[in-house]
Structure 1
Amino acid sequence: EEIDENISFYKLVNKFSPEVAPEDTVDLLQIIKRRSKDGNFK
């Protein structure tokens, strides 16, 4: 499930920034998820 989420997120980011690497979006997604758990990110 997490892999599918990473792939979807990568495809979304890639539409706007084609130069972004998949590894970068995985890190970014983890940061966003961590923030949303803390309630800092809506």
Structure 2
Amino acid sequence: YRISNINYNVTSGQRYPVPNKSAPVYITVGDGGNQEGLAG
């Protein structure tokens, strides 16, 4: 699966990656403003 940061943990305020077939090929990490290249 590609990794998606769409899901957001409101309680802790932290984004976490989740398995998602329809996720974008770009991975956003940390604050969601950094692109670490293509997934896979």
Shorter-chain TM range is under 0.3
Q: Would you tell me which structure has more helix in proportion to its own residues? A: 1
Q: Tell me which protein shows more strand as a share of its residues.
A: 2
Bigger relative CO (Cα 8 Å, ≥ 6 apart): 2
TM-score (norm: length of structure 1): 0.19
TM-score by length of 2: 0.19
